[in-house]
Amino acid sequence: MADINKVVPDNTAGDFFVDTTCINCDTCRQLAPRSFADQGKFSFVFEQPQSKEDVRAATRALLCCPTGSIGTRAANDAKAIMQDLPLLIEDNVFYSGFNSPKSYGGNSFFLQHPDGNWLIDSPKYLPHLVKQFEKLGGIKYVFLTHQDDVAEAARYATEFGAQRIIHRTEISAQPDSEIVIENNDAVEFSKDFTIIPVPGHTRGHMVLLYKNKFLFTGDHLAFDPAMSQLYAFRRHCWYSWEEQTKSMARLLDYEFEWVLAGHGDRAKLPSAEMHQQLVELVDLMGLPARQWYAHFGND
């Protein structure tokens, strides 16, 4: 629970607040951008929510904060609003909610499919989510984009008898994974799903393309809402920026409308615009580091 004695000084006066246990993972800013902002070290409440819609969004952020760093002084409907989660994004794709501190607050997604449901990366393991996933038909596959964001994947796999999918070079994070991708060739896993290895952020990072519409990108690719532009985490590239640039260019061979990131914001664009933004990003990734940071700031 957030501590009223550790409130970030930048918070606007009112019911909602962020305390200094915040790890600035961006979860609250994605869920309630009209209430939360980034002051550099922490998120903070820059505008207290007033409308029912904004209060609901801020309460979802409170629930999903991985470190429990958001609080409210007022009575709230958190128990009822918890039923919003997993949160429908579009079609049969959901944001799981309840981001895990074990993945530094990375986003997890749930995909409902007639041939078996998918969990993409892992949220916290909570009875509420287990019940909700059961209602949606369980989990057949747990797709792990990379080793940083496995969180509670093993517990969900055990609970639902699901098969975990991971790249060979990330296997130390889930050594008993059931399905292991061995190389960097794209895998047509089934009619609707393509697994695309994208080394860069880590050596064995992968993305998942669903129906040529939804791209689950882990920490490879995200969207910057302030600049309305696709971007990548150069400062948090743990393996090779050069390889990540090559991997980004390979995505130009695919069509998609949604970028659903583990870290960083998600976005939907017309496929042609998404492609053009990706072209521009690949060009920017070729810039020297100083020019990159001059364009994007401290990522």
C-alpha 86/C-alpha 98 separation (Å) is 9
Mean of the per-residue pLDDT values of the chain:
97
Q: What is the value of pTM for the model shown? A: 0.97
What tokens appear for 224 in the block? 């910057």
pLDDT band at 299 (very low <50, low <70, confident <90, very high): low
C-alpha 64/C-alpha 89 separation (Å) is 16
pLDDT band at 297 (very low <50, low <70, confident <90, very high): confident
- How far the first Cα of the chain sits from its last, in Å, is 28
Q: Which domains does the chain have, with CATH numbers?
A: 4-72 (3.30.70.20), 85-296 (3.60.15.10)
Residue 180, Cβ neighbours under 10 Å: how many? Answer: 15
Task: Calculate what percentage of the chain has a pLDDT beyond 90.
Answer: 97
Find residue 1's DSSP bridge partners: none
Find residue 142's DSSP bridge partners: 119, 164
Give strand ranges (E) for 129-279: 141-143, 163-167, 179-181, 187-190, 193-197, 206-210, 214-218, 222-224, 229-231, 258-261, 267-268
Find residue 97's DSSP bridge partners: none
Kindly state the average pLDDT of the residues 179-193.
97
